[in-house]
Amino acid sequence: MREIFTDKNYITGKLIFFAKLLLIVALIIFFAPLFILPFFNHPCADDYICGYHLNTKGFWEYQQFIYNNWGGRFAATFTGSLFAKNNYLYDHYYMHSILLLLLNILSVFFMITVANKYVLKDEHLKKNIVWVCLLYTSLQVCCLVEPSTYIFWFSSAITYQLPVILLQLQLGLWIMVMHTDKAFTKYIAYILLPLMVIIVNGFNELFIIAQAVLLLVVFLSGAGKRISKIFIAIVLLCFVASALVVVLSPGIQSRTAIIEPKGILVGGVAMGYHVAESLWSICMNPFAWFAMSCVFLFGNYRREKLKDLHLIKVFLKRRWLLPAVIVLFLLVAVGIAVTGLKGGVIPDRYINGITSISVTMMLLIAFTEGIALNNFTIKIFSQPVQLFMIIIFFISLLANNYLRDAYKSLIAAPLYDAVMDDRESSLKKAALNKQPAVLESYNNSMQQHLQNEYGHSTKTLYDLVQQKPSFIFFEDDLATEYSIETLKNFYGVDSIIVK
């Protein structure tokens, strides 16, 4: 018994076990709002536009309509149409958020598992792979500028989160095709990779740039020596062709034609602001700094076994290269969007995509810099270091702005849900009876529910519930004539009267 209390390894092992239990609790607290809030979520204007045009034009004509009049994002349009067909999306609006979140976690698991199997080959990482994947996904979420448009608003989530998922899967496939000896696995990757390149390009102009960066990293990894030249040519052809399909679409030309130029000075200020915003959304987060520190230490820990990898050799020989790629990515990604808007301000949903990609690239910098550092080694998987890391991750998960906003949204979500249920019920009833739809404004309807359901609540709760839940409230569809017209067309009512 005395040895149990004096054995440092035994005591530290028990503390690690207890710390892991705390980390599980922290992860549950972190992810709970992301899986609960979708059930209080409701569609808004752009979602209804998709449904209305699908119902009036049909599936394939709608693809042509969007391509010719709105934009060349053929993959985003097609995917959105699959969900919205037969109004399935509007009856199951919770599904896309949960599905994309699960797919994101699975794609991260696939990417890191493949990287560890073929490149890193670390048994400690293999044993902790689930922790790493959940923490990586948590980091992505923490660094978002606007979670509502990345996770909860369907039109934006499909356009910006799904291609990130596909890029993560694609990275895993590239690693497999360059390192596996199994012919069947290679053939599967040979089929999937060109398709993925085409699909990713078809979501958004931002992801054409991201795809180009990924291909650059792949070629720097020595793909030309490991993969058939014909296959590389096919991939490049698919990349160029699909990028041109997006960029040269009539829809992009028609949309940019109606945008008024803001001037070079305003455009330059907008570009600088959005680059800074993208970096700040990551660097303001202590979680990001600690995650990069851990990746740095892991790279240093595996230095001797990884320093001879082709990609690592390239980055170590030209240590300016990877930071330059990240800076160039930020400048081009922001610059193209600002140019497309003729000097205008970019919506935060676009910045979400930039930060999700930038986080991974910054982790790669930390990893390569860890390998570059000589005469410095910390046994990152020793018991004391593990205990320290788990405790810091526990604190980082719970001490950030994301968690505050998530739970404030969770408190306000039931009231928002009740207001939107009333509105949708009134619209359906008016369409059924072929009458004008008489709707309460959001604030008027909210005040009625406050009096009926929260009249006897504490002042703190009363004040909290009447705040619009930032995670699921994107915009009020009764706020503009355009969105009112959209609602009228979707529900098939003659007119909408707002009280």
pLDDT in tens, 281-312: 999 999 999 999 999 999 989 888 888 888 88
What's the total number of domains in the chain? 2
Same domain, 381 and 422: no
For residues 230 and 392, what is the distance between their CA atoms, to the nearest angstrom? Answer: 48
Kindly tell me if the per-residue pLDDT of 367 is higher than 70. Answer: yes
Would 5 be classed as within a structural domain?
no
| CA angle at 312 for the pair 308 and 378, rounded to the nearest 5° | 80
Kindly tell me if the per-residue pLDDT of 89 is higher than 70. Answer: yes
Same domain, 335 and 456: no
Instruction: Please give the share of the chain, as a percent, with pLDDT higher than 70.
Output: 96
Number of C-beta neighbours around residue 334 at 10 A? 25
343 pLDDT band, cuts 50/70/90, is: low
Domain span including residue 306: 13-399
What is the reported pLDDT for 1?
46
DSSP code string of 414-461: HHHHHHHHHHHHHHHHHHHHT--EEE--HHHHHHHHHHHHSTTS-HHH
Would 378 be classed as within a structural domain?
yes
What is the reported pLDDT for 456?
81
Tell if the pTM clears 0.85, that is, is over it. Answer: yes
Same domain, 330 and 427: no
For residues 357 and 139, what is the distance between their CA atoms, to the nearest angstrom? Answer: 12
Same domain, 354 and 270: yes
Would 433 be classed as within a structural domain?
yes
The values of phi and psi at residue 439, to 5°, are -120, 140
| CA angle at 9 for the pair 6 and 13, rounded to the nearest 5° | 115
Same domain, 421 and 386: no
For residues 211 and 7, what is the distance between their CA atoms, to the nearest angstrom? Answer: 52
Quick one: which of 381, 492, 478, 428 has its CA closest to 44?
478
Would 405 be classed as within a structural domain?
no
Tokens found for residue 485: 């017209």
Mean pLDDT of the chain: 90
